Chain A
Amino acid sequence: MSNTVVDLSKRHSEKPVFSAEKMTEIQTLMSQFPEGKHKSAILRILHIAEEEFGGWLSIETMDYVAEILSIEPIEVYEVASFYSMFNLEPTGKFVFEVCRTGPCMLVGSDSIISYIQEKLDIKVGETSKDGFFTLKTVECLGACGYGPMLQCGKKYHEHLTKEKVDELIAAYRSGEFPK
């Protein structure tokens, strides 16, 4: 359980609205569940909302999702605050989520975490001054045989070394997304 609380001071200035295309996708997802059970689509919709509205879930975004699902806003808050993948406050453009759990630690994740902190001049949980990178540590991502590793967006970057971290940072900064 993450101890996240919903911070009411963090807001989106405008009401978020899905594009017509995204809305159709969401309607399809909701219709995959039996009549009256469309709340089951909530996690999928929250993932999409996070992607569409700046990489985090504001109160406005969560209220909007509640509206789409015809449920109470609290039902969205309690879900969004339970699952650690959701960011409830703004992040940098790219979030580096480095696995810190045992199997990755055995093959050197501690030194990768230190190196990223040094390189970006931030601590875990902080965002770099240029707003490009937020560094987080996360629990096991199921890449234990290919560690150390980090996830950025949907992408897993495995077998990390200091050189690879340098390349990753340069690639994300320059806008040519690394493979």
Chain B
Amino acid sequence: MARKILLEHDEIPGIETYAVYRKNGGYRSVEKALKTMSPEQVVEEVQKSGLRGRGGAGFPTGMKWSFLAKPEGVPRYLLCNADESEPGTFKDRYLMEKIPHRLIEGMIVSSYALGSNLSFIYIRGEYMWILEILEKAIAEAYAAGFLGKNILGSGFDLDLRVAPGGGAYICGEETAMIESLEGKRGNPRMKPPFPAVKGLWGCPSVVNNVESLASVVAIVNDGGDEYAKIGIGKSTGTKLFSACGNLVRPGVYELEMGLSVEEFIYGDDWCRGIANGKQLKACVPGGSSVPILPAHLVTKTAAGENRLMSYESLADGGFASGSMLGSGGFIVFDEDQCIVRNTWNFARFYAHESCGQCSPCREGTGWMEKVLNRLEHGNGNLRDIELLEDINKKIEGNTICPLGDAAAWPVAAAIRHFREEFEWHVTHREESQSRNYGLLLKEPLMQ
């Protein structure tokens, strides 16, 4: 299932330059779209492709595009979300660093489809060197006539800009990103109105992830129907996964959706198994916000079927025994890792990154961090586990943006699958400070 569409040519020397990229078929989709297709036809192809947003939520891109309001005389904006900050996720970085023109090409075609004449890439501030790579590539695209006025004589104008963030995870949430692009603190907005109606500077806007926009190139080149043939079921196309944690070969992989999780973790073409000859303990398959899976639910579903790398299969079993594909940040834990410590670590992350706007999230993430901190350090009691579940319920669904849910889910899932390990930290306070719990010895009852 090795199939490269996005990262095609990523090993060709000089592919980051316009000349080499163009020589290898780059910018064909712009020629095709601007010369032979109407903007509506491009939208239609993206709808047919079944492409789902690659940032984490998995919402169909074509449908998102169809919601864009088009009032007369009001500018529309396409905004690329390159604020990649979900722990475990480093795929967009790889794509932009290696093949910057792929994103630029995708943005030109997508801007044409949506009628945006000024589009932005919002990139996390820490990726400043990638911002420089992108600006260099954008300058080349202007020089080659693929950006600017009257592109390829089509009458379509497009300016493309890059804007950096400043180190705030919340700016990956689309309305926070828009606030930040307006030069403000990244506090998410109440929805509705959705960005498709009122986004950047109050104008209709579409926010798409880097990988989603880069995928549009293949959809225009080969047609939406062809793209939809790749993958499995409603998980069409290829997906970038960034694998990390205790793996022999962590890194960024492009794969056709439908590959088995087992093959991805252990296969020679992929991650090559758990590092240092250890055993698998758990896996967070889609970035820190998605539920953790214990070893016996990683490669198989609760029903005993092979778990696949797809939106549906990773979610199989719901939150009781499944997880989510999320951002594709695939984090693997070996037998020596402490689940309580990791849950505390993630809780600390969300407490740090909460924007502070909604009380349930601002206070709740702080409380979860404190309670998990004392459990991890041998100062907790058994009621703390119930307390965590209680705080969780009070955050989930009670905040403006999904950060609250993202903070609550990992804690709930860790307790669901590893309750004994949390309890052990209370019943074996001293021992828990000198050694790890190790693997779960018995499998919980199948539901």
Contact = CB atoms under 8 A, between A and B. Distances in A.
Given A78-B185, A139-B352, A103 B87 contact: yes
Contacts of B159: 32
A39 interface: yes
Contact of A40 (B167, B181, B186, B354): B181
A47 interface: yes
B118 interface: yes
A103 B331 contact: yes
Given A144-B89, A145-B90, A43 B163 contact: yes
A40 B244 contact: no
Contact of B166 (A41, A43, A105, A147): A43
Contact of A102 (B93, B168, B349): B349
B420 to A, nearest CB: 21
Interface stretch (A12-20, A81-89, A121-129): A81-89
A141 B126 contact: yes
Contacts of A78: 184-185
B166 A144 contact: no
A141 B183 CA distance: 22
A113 interface: no
Interface of chain A, helix or strand or loop or mixed?
mixed
Interface string B270-294: 0000000000000000001000000
B163 A106 contact: no
Given A47-B128, A107-B246, A143-B90, A79 B184 contact: yes
Contacts of A85: 125-126, 166-167
Contacts of A32: 159, 161
B403 to A, nearest CB: 11
A22 to B, nearest CB: 16
Contacts of B129: 154-156
Nearest to B345: A102
| Contact-size category for A | 35 or more
A106 B331 contact: yes
B331 A102 contact: yes
B128 A79 contact: no
A139 B88 contact: no
| Contact-size category for B | 35 or more
B165 interface: yes
A84 B85 CA distance: 13
B163 A102 contact: no
A105 B331 contact: no
Contact of A106 (B167, B181, B245): B245
Interface of chain B, helix or strand or loop or mixed?
mixed
Given A139-B169, A141-B126, A106 B333 contact: yes
A102 B288 contact: yes
Interface string B337-355: 1000110011001001111
B244 A83 contact: no
A142 interface: yes
B164 interface: yes
Interface in B208-248: 242-246
B88 A1 contact: no
B125 A105 contact: no
A86 B126 CA distance: 11
Contact of B185 (A33, A39, A79): A79
A119 interface: no
A101 B89 CA distance: 12
A140 interface: yes
A82 B352 contact: no
Contacts of B201: 34, 37
B349 A39 contact: no
A151 interface: yes
A42 interface: yes
A143 B260 CA distance: 25
B180 interface: yes
B342 A42 contact: no
B390 interface: no
Most buried by A among B84, B167, B342: B167
B87 A144 contact: yes
A43 B183 contact: yes
Given A79-B183, A103-B245, A142 B128 contact: no
B237 to A, nearest CB: 22
Given A106-B337, A145-B242, A39 B164 contact: no
Contacts of B170: 1
28 contacts: A33-B161, A34-B75, A37-B182, A39-B182, A43-B163, A47-B128, A82-B185, A83-B165, A83-B168, A85-B125, A86-B166, A86-B167, A103-B87, A103-B245, A105-B341, A107-B244, A139-B349, A139-B352, A140-B85, A140-B86, A142-B93, A142-B124, A142-B126, A144-B90, A144-B250, A146-B250, A151-B126, A154-B129
Interface of A: 1-2, 32-34, 37, 39-44, 46-47, 69, 75, 78-79, 82-86, 100-103, 105-107, 138-147, 151, 154-156
